[in-house]
């Protein structure tokens, strides 16, 4: 399994998660978990996904997600899960 953590931060509106999920589905990326919180009109969302089925290199995925983020007015980042496990788990 090749796990990536995707975060989305921005102003909440209808269809944000749907847009993200459609992009992931089109690229054969499986969503393992989604968490989100909304404070007033702002949304913070985190997805854990498996990119084993993704055809392409990581930089394509990162820039693709960034573009999707821009199209919906949000900041979207994607990084490998290991960095967070290393920093926050013993």
Which of 30, 58, 66, 72 contacts another protein by CB under 8 A?
58
- Interaction between residue 77 and another protein (CB under 8 A): yes
* Closest residue by Cα to residue 4 from 32, 28, 25: 32
Task: Give the Cα separation of 41 and 29 in Å (integer).
Answer: 28
Give the binding range for another protein (CB under 8 A) out of 13-21, 22-30, 40-48, 64-72: 40-48
Q: Are 8 and 74 in contact (CB under 8 A)?
A: yes
Q: Are 10 and 75 in contact (CB under 8 A)?
A: yes
Which of 17, 21, 62, 72 contacts another protein by CB under 8 A?
62
Which of 1, 14, 39, 87 contacts another protein by CB under 8 A?
87
């Amino acid at each position: 399994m090749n796990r990536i953590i995707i975060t989305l931060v921005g102003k909440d509106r209808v269809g944000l998660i749907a847009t993200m999920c459609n992009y992931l589905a089109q690229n054969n990326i499986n969503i393992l978990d989604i968490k989100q919180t909304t404070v007033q009109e702002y949304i913070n969302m985190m997805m854990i996904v498996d990119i084993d089925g993704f055809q392409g290199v990581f930089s394509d995925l990162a820039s693709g997600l960034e573009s999707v983020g821009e199209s919906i007015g949000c900041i979207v980042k994607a990084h490998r899960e290991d960095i967070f496990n290393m920093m926050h788990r013993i």
